[in-house]
Amino acid sequence: MAHVNAKPLGGKILTPSVILMLFVAGAGIYFLFVRYIYGIGAVSNLSNYMPWGIWKVINVIVGAALVCGGYACAFTVYLFNQGHYHRYVRPALLISLLGYSFAGFSLFYDVGRYWGLFNFLIPKYWQGNSVLFEVGLCVMTYIGVLSLEIAPAIIEKFSHVEGRLRVVLDKLYAFLDRFLFLIISLGILLPTMHQSGLGGLAVVMGQKISPLWQSPLISLHHLISCMAMGYGCVIVTEMLVSHDYKETQHMEILSQLAKVMFMIMFVFLVLRMSEVLRSGAMALAFKGNLDSISFWTEMLLMVGGLWCVRNDQVRMKPNNIFLGSCLIMAAGSLYRLNVYIIGFHPVPGVTYFPSVPELSISLGMVCLQLIFFIMIIKTFPIIAKERR
């Protein structure tokens, strides 16, 4: 991990955009107080027919998939030994750590009896049949693993420290470096388990989910799409935080990542379409209702994203791979939204649209996450800089 020359970006933290995001986050936090005092019903449009809203679906399920960069990177760099992607590892891990931590935090306002979340750790309450139990336990462990993976960056920050603390930090650094392979492989195994589990959650909902999305292979669909989204996340992050992509040699590396993303998303598209055709749900896509519109939007985003990164030539243009990654991430997000909200029909005629306070809590938490990200990359050595 130490082979990448990463440096803090430095600069002012309270830029106008950060201040704007602070206001959005502030509104979200205000409504969080309301939620904690008066209950979930006071701020949300959730009902007994639509008990899962955007907090769980966007902030947890979509959120965890969007920040799969750490997973995709660990996969590429350590499993397939593609060392030249090393520079993307740290930013991706940081995004994953923040994303998963916020997903975990979101549960604390989404669930009604939040202290009960600690029951996940008490053996007498364990429930091995439950997909949600597996996902919960996996995510908790993964947050720990991600913290260990990112720890060297924090230690490097304190390289000027002298005395006894130095010895301890050096020992810790050496320890992490030595057992990195054990941590990294957990960092590959756990996301594989819980990302497929996040799709597996839908299986028990059976007929309540439209056949356009429900399938015994739904775990696999979630797993494969999250990998593509992870690569998209790495590309978008890299292009937003660093201008190195303007050099051809970096663009080549990025376009390779885009190629992997293309291939995975293509597999996903084939799998999804074949499953819809196999199950005979295709007729539902031509009903002209919200389900079919959403289905085709999802397909359009996916095909559009794939088109942007279709061959080596177009992949060398920064605009193309940026747009392609964004579209693929949007397609994967809409897919998850379709499974759990738009395609979820407990009884005919039930609809759900989030309330304003509900939306501002969701949005506020996303802004808070971005603020943390900006603060950290400006003060800790996360982003690789190559200046010649």
Partner 1 sequence: MKTTNRRQFFKRMALAGVGVMAAPLLSAKSAVAMKLRPRHDEDVGMLYDATKCIGCRSCEVACKKANGMPFEYDPQGIWDAPIDLSDKTLTIVKLYTGDQEQSFIKRQCMHCVDPACVSGCPTSALIKQDNGVVTWNIDACVGCRYCQMGCPFNIPKYEFDAQYGRIRKCEMCANNGLLDKGQTACSNACPTGAIAFGIQQDLIKTAKSRIRKNPGTYFQDKIYGELDSGGTGVLYMAGVPFDKLGLPDLPEYSSARISEGIQHTIYQNMVAPIVIYIGLAIAAFRNIRKSHKKTEE
Which parts of 162-201 interact with partner 1 (CB under 8 A)? 180-182, 184-186, 188-189, 192-193, 196, 200-201
| Stretch touching partner 1 by CB under 8 A, among 24-32, 260-268, 299-307, 321-329 | 260-268
Q: How many CA atoms lie within 13 A of 61 on its CB side?
A: 30
The answer for residues whose C-beta is within 8 angstroms of residue 290's C-beta and 6 or more apart is: 342
- What mask of x and - would describe binding to partner 1 in positions 274 to 313, judged by CB under 8 A? ----------------------------------------
Report, in Å, the least distance between residue 76 CB and partner 1: 8
Helix axes 356-379, 89-110, angle to 10 degrees: 150
256 touching partner 1, by CB under 8 A: yes
Report, in Å, the least distance between residue 206 CB and partner 1: 3
**Tokens for 112?**
């009604």
Kindly tell me which residue out of 23, 33, 38, 296 binds partner 1, with binding defined by CB under 8 A: 38
Site for partner 1 in 51-70 (CB under 8 A): 51-52
**Nearer to partner 1 (CB atom), residue 67 or residue 202:** 202
144 touching partner 1, by CB under 8 A: no
Q: What share of the chain is helix, strand, coil (3-state, %, to 5)?
A: 75, 0, 20
Report, in Å, the least distance between residue 14 CB and partner 1: 36
Strands (E), the chain: 6-7, 383-384
**Nearer to partner 1 (CB atom), residue 111 or residue 370:** 111
Report, in Å, the least distance between residue 162 CB and partner 1: 27
Find how far residue 341's CA is from the centre of its chain: 18
Kindly tell me which residue out of 7, 13, 33, 39 binds partner 1, with binding defined by CB under 8 A: 39
**Tokens for 248?**
């051809």
Site for partner 1 in 350-379 (CB under 8 A): none
**Tokens for 86?**
């090393």
**Nearer to partner 1 (CB atom), residue 154 or residue 203:** 203
**Nearer to partner 1 (CB atom), residue 15 or residue 249:** 249
Report, in Å, the least distance between residue 36 CB and partner 1: 8
Report, in Å, the least distance between residue 110 CB and partner 1: 8
- Distance, in Å, from the CA atom of 383 to the CA atom of 89, rounded to the nearest integer, reads 9
**Nearer to partner 1 (CB atom), residue 194 or residue 239:** 194
Report, in Å, the least distance between residue 321 CB and partner 1: 17
Kindly tell me which residue out of 10, 12, 16, 113 binds partner 1, with binding defined by CB under 8 A: 113
The one-character DSSP state at 384 is: E
79 touching partner 1, by CB under 8 A: yes
Site for partner 1 in 317-336 (CB under 8 A): none
Kindly tell me which residue out of 263, 282, 303, 316 binds partner 1, with binding defined by CB under 8 A: 263
Q: How many CA atoms lie within 13 A of 256 on its CB side?
A: 13
Q: How many residues line the site for partner 1 (CB under 8 A)?
A: 78
- Distance, in Å, from the CA atom of 91 to the CA atom of 143, rounded to the nearest integer, reads 15
Site for partner 1 in 198-237 (CB under 8 A): 200-201, 203-208, 216-217, 219-220, 223-224
**Nearer to partner 1 (CB atom), residue 151 or residue 205:** 205
Q: Which residues of 351-383 are buried (b: 16+ CB within 10 A; e: fewer)?
A: ebebbebbbbbbbbbbbbbbbebbebbbebbbb
- Distance, in Å, from the CA atom of 291 to the CA atom of 184, rounded to the nearest integer, reads 40
Do residues 220 and 179 touch, judged by C-beta distance below 8 A?
no
Site for partner 1 in 123-142 (CB under 8 A): 124-134, 136
- Distance, in Å, from the CA atom of 276 to the CA atom of 260, rounded to the nearest integer, reads 24
The answer for residues whose C-beta is within 8 angstroms of residue 280's C-beta and 6 or more apart is: 211
Find how far residue 304's CA is from the centre of its chain: 21
